[in-house]
Structure 1
């Protein structure tokens, strides 16, 4: 077994944990013990899968083996399985890091301005920018789209981090939720890049398949955002202040 195949096996194992556990926090009551347990399992699984995706991306770009000779468009291969995989790995880690941090520092957002957190956000923006530029050069709109989505997500996070002290109570809950849904989107997209080439290689460059996680994830974000707004509006209409998270 080569180093690359060993990394793939570990990536599949950790990714399977994350991809399965990801639905636990969505299905369980928010803030409950089960919610937190499922959430931790998903985060740890995705952290492992994200780190391994980065390692595989570097091997795809600079490894000694000429992988997947059946793919003749090597520039596009380097883009999707090299630079895009690298970006999605960093993006997944970035979402996990931020999603956990906003809860940990819910009472002191200034802690998120530290180099430790800003460095992770910067890494996502830099790898995302290069993914988008490379995708533009090779004419693959998917790379540009996922890069744009990730960079916009980081800018939204920065808006929360650097805003004044006039935020509504419980705002961090929405940030936590959006970040971890984003974690699922990036992880599912990255995971498809490993599985598709083995299961259905003729569709490995099909944008419709790769866009699936983003469509589902964004739909979930919109649905739960609307539900949260309805829940917060109901107490105000009755003159009762919503319970702080």
Structure 2
């Protein structure tokens, strides 16, 4: 049995505390831009706070996932199913942390480059999308290897989201006016999905260790978030596809 060093345990606990702090900041501020008027000062301020919180939480999730994968005994050695542990707290958390950063990056970029969509084709943005797809593929493949459908489902959702983003980025014809707002909204919801799922894993094993491998607990944020994306996308489609009517003279 591998005995974790005190230094490694202390480092991991520091990462957990920082992850909780940044995650709480992001999860709390997340609802600010949702309920405030779009484009208003408060909307932008809350959006920046949530984005910085999620970026920090995502980076820390990646660090903890790497420690779980390459030193799994230093994190919760009481968990006996190390194969499943490596899957959920290793490969899946690595992917969710990268996915959170990817959604934040894209959500901010589509607003920043609203008038120049082709700027999103730069290597700097494409590298982030490639990182999400590669870690998602690793999560899905590991899930298939151990026969865990949740890992495959979550990986599929994230990879599909990245491909939808790429469709917007690389389409030849210019999208309808205001299409970047829909992209921004989907990225915002996706950011919440991945952050809630990753953040849930840290607290769940401490509050309800008997439920830590319950698929319902892990899949809940994805089901709710994807449902919101589908709902608002369908609702907005008729308005986006409606052709502007010819102006009629006002009655005298």
Superposition misfits of 4+ residues, deviation over 6 angstroms: none
Q: Residue 222 of structure 1: CA displacement? A: 2.7
Query: 2: distance between equivalents of 1:66 and 1:43?
Result: 30
Query: 2: distance between equivalents of 1:148 and 1:120?
Result: 17
Query: 1: distance between equivalents of 2:242 and 2:161?
Result: 29
The alignment covers a number of residue pairs equal to 239
Task: From 160, 172, 178, give the equivalent of 1:170.
Answer: 178
Task: From 9, 18, 32, give the equivalent of 1:24.
Answer: 32
Q: 1:233–1:129: structure 2 CA closer, same or farther, 3 Å change rule?
A: closer
Question: What's the counterpart of residue 88 of structure 2?
Answer: 80
Q: Residue 33 of structure 1: CA displacement? A: 1.2
Q: Is the 8 A contact 2:72 2:86 kept in 1?
A: no
1:69 match: secondary structure: coil
Query: 2: distance between equivalents of 1:64 and 1:150?
Result: 25
Query: 1: distance between equivalents of 2:99 and 2:106?
Result: 10
Structure 2: runs of 5 or more not aligned: 1-8, 248-252
Query: 1: distance between equivalents of 2:89 and 2:51?
Result: 23
2:172 match: secondary structure: coil
Query: 2: distance between equivalents of 1:211 and 1:52?
Result: 21
Structure 1: runs of 5 or more not aligned: 241-245
2:160 match: secondary structure: helix
Query: 2: distance between equivalents of 1:49 and 1:11?
Result: 5
Residue-by-residue CA offset, 1:178-221 (whole Å, 9 max, x unaligned): 01110100000001110110010111011111111012212222
Is 1:8 paired with 2:16? Answer: yes
**Larger mean Cα displacement after TM superposition, 29-38 or 222-231:** 222-231
Q: 1:234–1:158: structure 2 CA closer, same or farther, 3 Å change rule?
A: closer
Task: From 54, 59, 71, give the equivalent of 2:62.
Answer: 54
1:2 match: secondary structure: helix
Cα RMSD, aligned residues only: 1.7
Give the TM-score normalised by structure 1. 0.92
Q: Residue 32 of structure 1: CA displacement? A: 1.2
Pairs within 5 Å for 1:18-167? 18-63=26-71, 65-167=73-175
Q: Larger radius of gyration, structure 1 or 2?
A: 2
